């Protein structure tokens, strides 16, 4: 197996993926401007929910984020044409990671996947053919790459699909409850909604989704099932693109297919003028240190991260602790409310605060059911009242429902969140577990 990893293969899949990937990066960032995503997440809000520990990462003032995203779009195009490849991709990776960390109101798993693939691609020789770098310096041109370059990409997408399958093994998915609600809220055409919310249809989507996530990689790996799997992947991702409107992710996921087909096939389809590599099939030590000292530890971390919630007390579906970075995608519907009680320590009087003067409706909707955002809101209120010369205690009355089930108390109403600490790695005791007393449905 080790020898197979270091055999030279045609680098056509990596070259084509670089072009697709760069174009998708540009589409993601220019599209964020054109669809109003940048405006709603960075321009309009007076306060931004960054990831805890990265509060220092804040949007640029005024219309600065438009220039920020425009710069990323240009960098994406430069990646596609392979100009100053590592500089342009490296800068894009830094800027996109900043976007990811500075806001989580519109959290999406594919934003995280973009960071990971940017990081992988930074270390791969993706500019060695059909690039401006080669045109400017022909000595850079290569027709082959070590086989492990393809296997790294296959391993990454396999991890995503595998843990996405495992995460679905809970009653709310297996009985079709979540998918039914998803169809109700996401289907854009009213005429289709009665069909797509019918029991036979949402159960079909429920189990076909699980089967797809579990089997798509093995089916793509075998020659006899590869084309059928590719067609199934096309149907699956185009359906998701139309019904769920999840941006570039369906096309991003489809682009990984180039690594499953024989490199010669990709060359014949997309790079017809590319010479046949006479060294293909011969061993090479190219990238040996990068594979051993970067990619192997990287893959081990990727395999372990989605398991960390098992070391944290409570059900991750309820507490959200260990939810992110774990490929827990499109799993549940959280609904509920949070009322804050703000008490002036000196006078004992209850203080008032108009949240809609600071937070957008989307921020409020997300904050009300997520422990980390509730805690961040309490910290914001603490700072706000301190600026007014007041020392306050802050308590949260939070009721949350998963998939329209019974409402339960999420946050201990007797905990002063203004003085509570956030545990980055383990359970926060002020987040109540699911065995607390149920209340009637809202």
**Calculated CA dihedral for residues 373, 377, 383, 388, nearest 10 degrees:** 170
Asked if residues 297 and 132 have their Cβ atoms less than 8 Å apart, the reply is no
Residue with tokens 């680098």: 11
Which pLDDT score is estimated for 225? 96
The residue among 3, 62, 59 whose CA lies nearest residue 281 is 3
Q: What's the burial of 46, exposed, middle or buried (CB within 10 Å: 0-12/13-18/19+)?
A: exposed
Which pLDDT score is estimated for 242? 79
Higher model confidence: residue 381 or residue 280? 381
Is the confidence at residue 55, as pLDDT, over 70?
yes
Contacts 24+ apart (CB under 8 A), 234-237: 236/208, 236/209, 236/212
Can you tell me the distance from the alpha carbon of 128 to that of 140, in angstroms, rounded to the nearest whole number?
6
Can you tell me the distance from the alpha carbon of 414 to that of 380, in angstroms, rounded to the nearest whole number?
19
Is the confidence at residue 377, as pLDDT, over 70?
yes
pLDDT by residue (tens digit) across 410-419? Answer: 999 999 999 9
Q: Which residues of 57-90 are buried (b: 16+ CB within 10 A; e: fewer)?
A: bebeeeeebbebbeebbebbbbbbbbbbbeebbb
Helices (H), 53-124: 64-81, 85-102, 109-122
Helices (H), 320-441: 361-367, 371-387
Can you tell me the distance from the alpha carbon of 222 to that of 134, in angstroms, rounded to the nearest whole number?
34
Is the confidence at residue 441, as pLDDT, over 50?
no
Which pLDDT score is estimated for 212? 95
Average pLDDT taken over every residue of the chain:
93
Which pLDDT score is estimated for 187? 67
Is the confidence at residue 245, as pLDDT, over 80?
no
pTM above 0.85, yes or no: yes
Can you tell me the distance from the alpha carbon of 402 to that of 336, in angstroms, rounded to the nearest whole number?
9
Which pLDDT score is estimated for 191? 67
Is the confidence at residue 185, as pLDDT, over 60?
yes
């Amino acid at each position: 197996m080790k020898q197979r990893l270091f055999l030279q293969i045609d680098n056509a899949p990596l070259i084509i993926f670089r072009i697709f990937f760069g174009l998708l990066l540009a589409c993601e960032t220019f599209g964020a401007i054109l669809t109003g995503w940048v405006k709603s997440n960075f321009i309009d809000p007076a306060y931004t929910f960054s990831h805890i520990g990265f509060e220092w990462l804040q949007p640029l003032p005024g219309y600065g984020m438009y220039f920020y995203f425009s710069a990323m779009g240009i960098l994406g195009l430069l990646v596609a044409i392979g100009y100053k490849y590592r500089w342009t991709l490296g800068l894009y990776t830094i800027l996109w990671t900043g976007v990811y960390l500075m806001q989580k109101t519109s959290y999406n798993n594919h934003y995280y996947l973009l960071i990971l693939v940017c990081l992988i691609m930074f270390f791969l020789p993706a500019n060695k053919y059909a690039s401006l770098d080669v045109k400017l310096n022909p000595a850079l041109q290569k027709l082959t790459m070590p086989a492990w370059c393809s296997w790294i990409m296959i391993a990454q997408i396999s991890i995503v699909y595998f843990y996405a399958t495992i995460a679905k093994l809970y009653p709310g998915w297996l009985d079709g409850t979540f998918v039914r609600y998803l169809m109700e809220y996401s289907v854009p055409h009213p005429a289709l909604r009665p069909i797509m919310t019918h029991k036979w249809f949402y159960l079909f989507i429920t189990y076909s989704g699980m089967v797809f996530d579990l089997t798509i990689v093995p089916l793509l790996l075998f020659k006899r099932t590869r084309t059928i799997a590719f067609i199934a992947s096309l149907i699956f991702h185009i359906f998701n693109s139309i019904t769920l409107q999840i941006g570039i992710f369906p096309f991003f996921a489809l682009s990984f297919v180039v690594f499953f087909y024989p490199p010669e096939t990709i060359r014949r389809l997309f790079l017809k003028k590319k010479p046949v590599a006479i060294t293909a099939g011969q061993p090479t030590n190219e990238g040996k240190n990068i594979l051993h000292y970067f990619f192997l530890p990287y893959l081990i971390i990727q395999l372990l991260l989605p398991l960390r919630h098992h070391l944290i007390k409570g059900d991750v579906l309820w507490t959200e602790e260990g939810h992110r970075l774990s490929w827990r995608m499109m799993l549940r519907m959280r609904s509920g409310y949070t009322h804050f009680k703000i008490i002036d320590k000196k006078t004992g009087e209850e203080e008032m605060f108009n949240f809609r003067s600071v937070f957008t409706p989307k921020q409020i909707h997300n904050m009300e059911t997520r422990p980390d955002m509730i805690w961040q809101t309490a910290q914001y209120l603490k700072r706000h009242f301190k600026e007014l010369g007041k020392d306050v205690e802050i308590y949260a009355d939070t009721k949350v429902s998963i998939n329209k089930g019974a409402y339960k108390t999420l946050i201990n109403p007797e905990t002063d969140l203004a003085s509570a600490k956030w545990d980055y790695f383990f359970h926060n005791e002020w987040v109540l577990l699911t065995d607390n007393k149920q209340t009637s449905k809202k």
